[in-house]
Chain A
Amino acid sequence: MENYENMILAIDISSNSVKIGLVSDNLKLVQFNSQDIKIINEDIDGFVKSFDMDDLWNKITIGVNQILNKIKNRNIKIMGISTCAQRIASVFLDGKGDVVYGGPNVDIRGIDSAYLIEDDFSEKDLFEITGHSPSLLFCLARLLWFREEEKETYAKIGKVLMLDDWLVYQLTGIFVSDFSSAAESQLLNIKKKEWSSEIIQTFDFNPDFFPEIVESGTLVGDLKPNLVKKFNFNQSNIPIVKAGGDTQATLLGMGAIEKGDIGISLGTTAPLHLVVDKPIIDPMNNYWTSCHSLKGKWLIEGHAGNTGASYNWFKKCFLSNLEGNPDILMDSYLKMSPPGALSTYAYLGPENMNIKNQTSIKRGIFAFQPPMMISEELPKIEDFARSVLENIAFGILENYRALNSYLDLDKRTFCAGGMAKSEEFCKMLANVVNSEITTPFVKDSAFIGVAMNTLKALEVYSDYKAMIKDLFTYEKIRNDPIISENYKSIYLEWKNLKIKVDKL
């Protein structure tokens, strides 16, 4: 009998890149590659953005081919392919299935059409239905934008998909969405888990625009025969499994699946999610309610903003001319600088989620002891590095506290993503949030979540809990109560100064 290695091909379109991964059936990441995404600015103001969809698909095929080439001499069977993608991003297709619009999560063309929404729905009423605000970000406003600003394009629209839905359509030819994707469109009734008939009827959208919605982890079809050939697969009938939003896949891949779990996804941005077993709507219409990848589980989301982006910016600006790996340098700086970084504070954006009330982009600031004659301890590069990471941790803390207030029970805290690869940062984060943090062995957990969906769809496992119990390896990062106590006052110093800095 021939012995195969069973593998899952995972495709992830994140905020900045297309990533292709190969994951074993025991959830080990075997291979992966990554390519930057091309985003086009369509107006001088910077509101209207779109993907170069041909370039995007081309990069996916290049990435898949690279992975398959690397393993061509191994006896590997691809059990299935599954995908996830940046949330909020949406794609409109014409009647033939060709793209008429593909827009990323940063396309805010809806700024010019959101007024049409508020003529019919108050912010509160729309939030009660969809769990999301403000309208300018989402698919609903984008659809109305085309109806208002580009009537000819709107007339061509035959299907409205979220980005992951488009990816599945490309692979199978089947139109299907899943709840984790659809929930980020502002078109889903989050409580009923169905496209909102109230919204669709109010705006007179063609109901056929919207595809069937399935649970994540559903087998939706096989890879199209022409792609089997194009990718040089030596097998046919490759199952395609619907996963959905990249953040939900990341949460699954870090094991945040039970009521009361808080998952911190440390990517370009840092969304925090509390897992709940019913759709809880924030009465202040600030923290979003979404669907998890698991049936019967919803998510409340706080968002700390551009965390990974701030970290990468600092490395690029201040460390790129230094010898050594910038990530390792950052870790060494954290060891050298004490909590509070000699009263060096950074204000680079990470903070409590308040998107709906945000009317200005705040200035980035470093506050530090200047080189005066009486100064005794001047900050060094390691202190500035720590201040950046403390700003990120404080931004996470503010959202963490907000989510904690929703459920009166003991919570488990998880984190994964690029910054979770830094042991020193994870230690600092545990100290700042004053809690033990659990982090999975594989930090690129979107790939793992996507693979878990495949194992579920193929009935290798009947539920995610058993999969996690059998296949996950975790590291637990315990906070030091003395340092946590110290951080309470450091955070207050940072926050008090922030109130003044925000007025600049």
Chain B
Amino acid sequence: MSEFNSIESCLKEIENRYITSEKVRRKLANYDDPIQITFLDTNRNVMLLVNKDQGIEVKDYTSDENAPVKIEFLSEKIMLELFNKELGAVKGYSSGKIKVIEGQIRNLMKLRSLMF
């Protein structure tokens, strides 16, 4: 049975990774750009607000058109597959299932520990 069966459980995992892993917080010690995740099949938006190593806030059904980092998933299923390790991040990127709409590569590298 898959460990992650809803977007909510994936978002909870993102929070958990931040809270429980010192290494993840260290990676994000200088990071505070808001991240918008969009699921194209449901038009659902999620905002990840990382405040350096001081805390993280995950806001479901929230968007910010000015977010400096925007990531699109073709569908919610893709995020479940990613978190359940049924889909690799590189394969997700190269097949167009995950797309970075905006953001610098330096920031995206830091986010890998949180999301991929």
A and B associate in one complex: yes
Mark A residues whose CB is within 8 Å of B: 43-47, 111-112, 114-115, 118-119, 123, 134, 136, 148, 356-361, 363, 504
**Inter-chain contacts of A44 with B (CB < 8 A):** 85, 88
Contact of B104 among A45, A46, A359, A363 (CB under 8 A): A359
Given known contacts A148-B23, A360-B100, A363-B96, A134 and B105 CB-to-CB distance under 8 angstroms: yes
CA A1 – CA B71 in complex, angstroms? Answer: 74
Contact of A45 among B30, B90, B105 (CB under 8 A): B90
Interface SS of chain A: helix, strand, loop or mixed?
A: loop
Contact of A359 among B23, B27, B89, B108 (CB under 8 A): B108
Is the pair B23, A134 in contact by a Cβ cutoff of 8 Å?
A: no
B98 nearest CB neighbor, chain A only: A360
Q: Nearest 6 CB-CB pairs, A to B?
A: A46-B90, A359-B100, A45-B89, A361-B94, A45-B88, A44-B88
9 A–B pairs (Cβ distance < 8 Å), ordered by A: A44-B88, A46-B89, A46-B91, A112-B113, A115-B27, A115-B109, A119-B29, A136-B105, A360-B100
Is the pair B30, A360 in contact by a Cβ cutoff of 8 Å?
A: no
Minimum distance in angstroms from B111 CB to a CB of chain A: 10
In chain B, positions 63-91 with a C-beta closer than 8 Å to chain A are: 85, 88-91
A141 nearest CB neighbor, chain B only: B109
**Inter-chain contacts of B52 with A (CB < 8 A):** none
Contact of A114 among B85, B101, B109 (CB under 8 A): B109
Minimum distance in angstroms from B16 CB to a CB of chain A: 18
**Inter-chain contacts of B89 with A (CB < 8 A):** 45-47
Contact of A360 among B23, B27, B88, B93 (CB under 8 A): B93
In chain B, positions 12-67 with a C-beta closer than 8 Å to chain A are: 23, 27, 29-30
How many A-B residue pairs have C-beta atoms within 8 angstroms? Tell me.
Answer: 52
**Inter-chain contacts of A119 with B (CB < 8 A):** 29-30
Is the pair B113, A359 in contact by a Cβ cutoff of 8 Å?
A: no
CA A44 – CA B27 in complex, angstroms? Answer: 21
Minimum distance in angstroms from A98 CB to a CB of chain B: 29
B102 nearest CB neighbor, chain A only: A359
Is the pair A358, B105 in contact by a Cβ cutoff of 8 Å?
A: yes
A47 nearest CB neighbor, chain B only: B90
CA A114 – CA B108 in complex, angstroms? Answer: 11
Given known contacts A112-B112, A361-B94, A123 and B106 CB-to-CB distance under 8 angstroms: yes
**Inter-chain contacts of A45 with B (CB < 8 A):** 88-90, 116
CA A47 – CA B104 in complex, angstroms? Answer: 18
Is the pair B93, A361 in contact by a Cβ cutoff of 8 Å?
A: yes
CA A395 – CA B112 in complex, angstroms? Answer: 30
B107 nearest CB neighbor, chain A only: A359
CA A44 – CA B82 in complex, angstroms? Answer: 10
**Inter-chain contacts of B105 with A (CB < 8 A):** 134, 136, 356-359
CA A301 – CA B106 in complex, angstroms? Answer: 22
**Inter-chain contacts of B116 with A (CB < 8 A):** 45
Is the pair A118, B106 in contact by a Cβ cutoff of 8 Å?
A: yes
**Inter-chain contacts of A112 with B (CB < 8 A):** 109, 112-113
Is the pair B99, A360 in contact by a Cβ cutoff of 8 Å?
A: yes
**Inter-chain contacts of A358 with B (CB < 8 A):** 105
Minimum distance in angstroms from B29 CB to a CB of chain A: 8
A504 nearest CB neighbor, chain B only: B96
**Inter-chain contacts of A47 with B (CB < 8 A):** 89-90, 112
Minimum distance in angstroms from B6 CB to a CB of chain A: 21
User: A44-B85, A359-B104, A504-B96 provided; 7 other pairs, C-beta below 8 A?
Assistant: A111-B109, A111-B112, A112-B112, A115-B27, A134-B106, A359-B100, A361-B93
**Inter-chain contacts of B104 with A (CB < 8 A):** 357, 359
CA A118 – CA B90 in complex, angstroms? Answer: 23
CA A358 – CA B89 in complex, angstroms? Answer: 15
